């Protein structure tokens, strides 16, 4: 994936806390959904598979909604029950002693978990699985709408009553499957039967959601907008790849997986890895890192929310690079991807600055000799200058110029690059010369 280096009108210092050249440097444009019209522009040999994928997604979208409509009709109401919310999937513990997963408490959580499994086989995000088994007519997802929606907002859902119904966002679906695997491993075949069935449906959900090019969207069935993009944000695709790796190996929690399914997981894992490597951004013939999300059809970095622009994303790229270093065997392509990504982290580090509260002005980037290194969350593709977005879709080259609300409510800098550089030194030393 190649990007021309954009012409820069001004030389912007990466380390300047208050740049006299700070300005609005662009406007964030919405990500494009996967549509029949866009598929028609693909090479002829690729269209059939993508068209079948899109048709399957649309059928499942309608089937999922019809399932809830039928429940409401049987219940004699049109009012959907809103389930209890929770942050992420924290109500499903994955770190307990193995014996705990055979207890009544664990099975209660497992029963609640499978009751909220969508008809497609996945799970929605931010559900509290500690409360109660899903009731007839209860939605599969709590209220997840943005509190800042405005006209033409990138976050506006395709259907206000149907959003994130089946997703990999916030560790959804992969966490539920890992929890069920721990319960299944702790029970005999008869006791574990309902959880095995739910696990199988969840794994098939992952297989169905995978794009023909190997990537995964944030939401499936496809929701449109940036949710259709191949999503590295919040580790969404990495969580899927890690789960498939563990399923394919059939060890520890996954010894119950049949060899036929393991083979399928291995094949899907390889396709996913190929997509990950092919989406590493190339600038002037050299690999750099990855975006927060990539267009499903072009593999180019694309936007998400109003303030998340197409760019090189340091946090997600750090996670990807560390994931590649953890592979037990590495091809030349993987080694090259790691080497070039680490070189990018070395090049783009910011030193002698800190991002913290300054009086009543909120968080700001300030000069702080000896601090760092830090990395900006986003870098402009080609120039590697940090860029920052605001809710009005404006793109800035100075974080102190964006609104107080966004400076306060978003992680604009990260130190994850330190972990990459430290891990790379150990990884490199352990490799045969």
Number of residues written out for the chain: 433
- Per-residue confidence (pLDDT) for residue 19, from 0 to 100: 42
User: 137-141, 152-156, 215-219: which range is least confident on average?
Assistant: 152-156
- Per-residue confidence (pLDDT) for residue 156, from 0 to 100: 84
- Whether 263 and 235 share a structural domain: yes
Residue at which a domain ends, from 280, 305, 330: 305
pLDDT(10) > 60: no
Percent of the chain with pLDDT over 90: 84
Tell me what the mean pLDDT of segment 420-425 comes to.
98
Q: Which long-range contacts (CB under 8 A, 24 or more apart) does 401-409 make?
A: 401/22, 401/23, 401/24, 402/307, 404/361, 404/362, 406/307, 407/362, 407/363, 407/364, 408/362, 408/363
| Domain assignment of residue 243, yes or no | yes
Tell me what the mean pLDDT of segment 300-321 comes to.
98
| Domain assignment of residue 102, yes or no | yes
pLDDT(403) > 90: yes
pLDDT(290) > 80: yes
- Whether 171 and 44 share a structural domain: yes
pLDDT category, 330, cuts 50, 70, 90?
confident
Q: Which residues are known to be catalytic? A: 170, 305
Residues whose CB is less than 8 angstroms from the CB of residue 361 and which lie 6 or more positions away in sequence, other chains included? 404
pLDDT(22) > 80: no
What pLDDT digit, counting tens, does each position of 157-194 carry?
888 889 999 999 999 999 999 999 999 999 999 999 99
Q: How many domains does the chain have?
A: 2
pLDDT(383) > 80: yes
- Whether 71 and 94 share a structural domain: yes
User: 20-34, 62-76, 174-188: which range is least confident on average?
Assistant: 20-34
Tell me what the mean pLDDT of segment 372-382 comes to.
97
Residue at which a domain ends, from 279, 305, 331: 305
For the sheet containing 388-389, what is the strand order? 24-27, 394-396, 388-389
- Per-residue confidence (pLDDT) for residue 213, from 0 to 100: 98
- Whether 174 and 286 share a structural domain: yes
Say if residues 283 and 3 touch (Cβ distance below 8 Å).
yes
- Whether 340 and 406 share a structural domain: yes
- Whether 101 and 130 share a structural domain: yes
| Domain assignment of residue 154, yes or no | no
Tell me what the mean pLDDT of segment 86-112 comes to.
91
pLDDT(415) > 70: yes
Q: What are phi and psi of 283, to 5 degrees?
A: -125, 125
Q: What are phi and psi of 346, to 5 degrees?
A: -65, -40
- Whether 336 and 253 share a structural domain: no
| Domain assignment of residue 43, yes or no | yes
- Per-residue confidence (pLDDT) for residue 95, from 0 to 100: 94
User: 12-21, 34-43, 358-367, 398-407: which range is least confident on average?
Assistant: 12-21
pLDDT category, 14, cuts 50, 70, 90?
very low
Q: Determine the structural domain holding residue 130 and report its residue range.
A: 37-142+159-305
| Domain assignment of residue 346, yes or no | yes
* Distance in angstroms (rounded) separating the CA atoms of residues 215 and 217: 7
- Whether 427 and 392 share a structural domain: yes
Tell me what the mean pLDDT of segment 217-238 comes to.
97
Q: Which residue would you say has higher pLDDT here, 147 or 307?
A: 307
Q: Which of 408, 361, 378, 217 is nearest to 312 (CA)?
A: 378
Whichever domain contains 10, its CATH number is 1.50.10.20
- Whether 299 and 316 share a structural domain: no
Residue at which a domain ends, from 305, 332, 362: 305
Positive or negative, the CA dihedral 37, 43, 47, 53 is negative
pLDDT(94) > 50: yes
Q: Which residue would you say has higher pLDDT here, 223 or 145?
A: 223
Q: Which residue would you say has higher pLDDT here, 17 or 34?
A: 34
66 by Cβ neighbours in 10 Å (0-12 / 13-18 / 19+) ranks as exposed
- Whether 291 and 341 share a structural domain: no
| Domain assignment of residue 152, yes or no | no
pLDDT category, 152, cuts 50, 70, 90?
confident
| Domain assignment of residue 203, yes or no | yes
What pTM does this model have? Answer: 0.92
- Whether 211 and 323 share a structural domain: no
- Whether 325 and 277 share a structural domain: no
44 by Cβ neighbours in 10 Å (0-12 / 13-18 / 19+) ranks as exposed
């Amino acid at each position: 994936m190649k990007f021309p280096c954009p012409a820069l009108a001004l030389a912007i210092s990466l380390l300047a806390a208050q740049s006299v050249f700070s300005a609005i440097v662009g406007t964030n444009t919405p990500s494009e959904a996967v549509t029949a019209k866009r598929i028609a522009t693909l090479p002829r040999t690729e269209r059939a598979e993508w068209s079948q994928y899109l048709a399957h997604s649309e059928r499942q979208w309608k089937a999922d909604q019809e399932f809830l409509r039928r429940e409401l009709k049987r219940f004699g109401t049109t009012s959907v029950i809103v389930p209890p919310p929770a942050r992420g999937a924290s109500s499903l513990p994955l770190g307990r002693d193995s014996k705990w997963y055979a207890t009544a408490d664990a099975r209660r959580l497992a029963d609640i978990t499978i009751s909220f499994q969508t008809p497609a086989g996945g799970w929605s995000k931010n559900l509290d699985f500690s409360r109660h088994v899903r009731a007839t007519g209860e939605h599969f997802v709590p209220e997840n709408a943005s509190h800042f929606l405005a006209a033409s907002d990138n976050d506006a859902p395709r259907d206000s009553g149907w959003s994130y119904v089946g997703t990999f966002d916030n560790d959804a679906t992969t966490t539920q499957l890992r929890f069920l695997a721990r319960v299944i491993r702790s029970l005999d075949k008869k006791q574990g039967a309902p959880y095995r069935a739910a696990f199988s449906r969840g794994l098939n959900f992952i297989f169905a959601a995978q794009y023909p090019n190997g990537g995964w969207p944030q939401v499936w069935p496809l929701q449109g907008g940036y949710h259709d993009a191949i999503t590295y944000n919040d580790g969404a695709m990495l969580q899927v790849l890690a789960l498939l790796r563990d399923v394919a190996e059939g060890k520890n929690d996954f010894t119950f997986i049949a060899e036929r399914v393991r083979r399928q997981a291995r094949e899907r894992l390889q396709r996913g890895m190929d997509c990950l490597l092919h989406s590493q951004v190339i600038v002037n013939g050299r690999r750099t890192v990855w975006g927060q999300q990539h267009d499903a059809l072009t593999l180019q970095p694309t936007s998400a929310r109003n303030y998340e622009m197409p760019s090189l994303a340091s946090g997600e790229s750090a996670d990807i690079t560390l994931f590649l270093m953890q592979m037990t065997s590495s091809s030349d392509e993987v080694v090259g991807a790691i080497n070039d990504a680490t070189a990018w982290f070395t090049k783009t580090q910011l030193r002698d600055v800190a991002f913290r509260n300054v009086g009543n002005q909120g968080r700001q980037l300030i000069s702080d000799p000896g601090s760092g290194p830090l990395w900006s969350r986003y870098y402009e593709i080609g120039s590697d200058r940090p860029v920052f977005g605001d809710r009005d879709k404006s793109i800035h080259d100075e974080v102190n110029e964006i609104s107080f609300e966004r400076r306060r409510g978003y992680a604009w800098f990260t130190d994850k690059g330190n972990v990459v550089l430290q891990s790379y030194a150990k990884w490199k030393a352990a490799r045969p010369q």
